[in-house]
Amino acid sequence: MSDLFTHVGYGHFLALSAVLFTIGVAGVLLRRNILIIMMSIELMLNAANLTILTFARMHGDLSGHSFALIVIAVAAAEVAVGLAIVVALFRGRRHVDVDRITMLKH
């Protein structure tokens, strides 16, 4: 049992990324503020990156590093567009509560 704590293996990193991903999912599901939801999405992307890099190290293959870099760039693009949408929404209706933004629903 002490070996679990003193010898860090690949499973530790993968389990940590699973924990971070779950926290991100919980943030998306539980919170109503759209900024917190976007931060939770960033958290999930980071957890996926951690998994990719762990597998890259496990296989000694650098393709995973290229994938992770591309994921980071896509996350940056997503944040730019998402925050622009948030600003545009807030300008019209003075709140960013996702439960009350239903104009595409009807």
Q: How far apart are CA 90 and CA 35, in angstroms?
A: 12
CB of 90 to other proteins, least distance (A): 5
From the list 1, 29, 93, 103, which residue makes contact with other proteins (rule: CB under 8 A)? 29
Cα(74)–Cα(17) distance, rounded to whole angstroms? 19
Least spacing, CB of residue 32 vs other proteins, in Å: 5
Can you name the residues that pair with 33 across neighbouring β-strands?
A: 97
> Is 70 an interacting residue with respect to other proteins (CB under 8 A)?
yes
- Residue 36 interacts with other proteins (CB under 8 A): yes or no: yes
88 vs 62: CA distance, rounded Å: 40
**Rule CB under 8 A: is residue 48 a binding residue for other proteins?**
no
